[in-house]
Amino acid sequence: MRRQLFQKAKYLTNNKKVKVEGETDYSIRVSVGEYDVVFKYQNHDLIFLCSCRQGAFNKLCSHVIAGMSYLSK
């Protein structure tokens, strides 16, 4: 399952389906495919929220991985 997450994230990143929607002092909103991902810095922790089914339960999903790899480039 872990391999599938990274393969899907690589697909999303390579096909230019990732773009930054908004940025504030403590958060960044990224659109990954049809889902929105928010990276939020709060109380010395990085919190990620995704609008997909897995992200709703604060689990790691391919959209979060694709957003992180896009922002780290």
Task: Say how far apart CA 11 and CA 24 lie, in whole Å.
Answer: 27
List, for residues 13-54, the tens digit of each pLDDT value: 888 889 999 999 999 999 998 999 999 998 888 888 999 988
Is the pLDDT reported for residue 56 higher than 80? Answer: no
Task: State residue 36's pLDDT score.
Answer: 93
Q: Give the pLDDT confidence score for residue 51 in this predicted structure.
A: 92
Quick one: pLDDT at residue 4? 84
| Of 18 and 57, more confident | 18
Task: Give the per-residue pLDDT at 1.
Answer: 64
H helices of the chain, where? 2-14, 53-56, 62-72
